[in-house]
Amino acid sequence: MKPHRNSQKRIYIDDAIYFITTNTHMAYPYFEDDILCDLFVDVLLLCQEMKSFELYGYKINSNHMHLLIQPNEIFNISKVMQAIKKNYAQDVNKLLGYYNEGENSNSRLREVDLRKYEGKIKEPLPQFKWQNSYHDRIIRNRKDFYNHLRYIQNQWIKHDLKENKYCFINQEICA
């Protein structure tokens, strides 16, 4: 077990499952736009493929999201979250017209095909930013795991939403 270098003292445990909460900067409701949610799912699945982590579930809310993931021995939770947040921010800002042509894209996993999203954003949005860092919780046992899955499933009720859009529970792994 090694602590993370910043003040949050992030803990890395081999084979741990993490419940993650990450927020948009200043709680801006970027994810009220379905196109931005669809793009996030594409980036998440691409990062899953490239960083080889298990994805047990996620829920995208208007200004934050929850993930239940298990990194592998090569890419720890910090590397996984860095890939997800960095690649999404770059892709969404490119889509919103904030892309910096001088940006170094060599570190990119692979480009998500943005053509299917072009022209579909309902209204102008400010440049996308994530809140710094993220909150993590290590899942302690089977009961804790299923409690967090239920928490993800019930987000739409907690946030008084009309439907449970952009909620995913991996039925194959969770069965």
Per-residue pLDDT reduced to its tens digit, 141-158: 999 999 999 999 998 877
Quick one: pLDDT at residue 106? Answer: 47
Q: How far is CA 107 from CA 83, 94, 98, 172, in A?
A: 9, 16, 19, 32
Per-residue pLDDT reduced to its tens digit, 60-99: 999 999 999 999 999 999 999 999 999 999 999 998 888 7
Q: In the chain, how many domains are there?
A: 1
How far is 105 from 11, CA to CA, in rounded Å? 30
- Cβ–Cβ under 8 Å, residues 130 and 22: yes
Which CATH number goes with the domain that contains 142?
3.30.70.1290
Residues spanned by the domain of 142:
2-174
SS3 18: strand
The secondary structure element, H or E, covering residue 168 is: strand 167-169
Could you tell me where the DSSP H helices lie in the chain?
Answer: 34-51, 77-95, 142-153, 155-158, 171-174
Q: What predicted TM-score, i.e. pTM, was given to this entire model?
A: 0.85
How far is 79 from 132, CA to CA, in rounded Å? 14
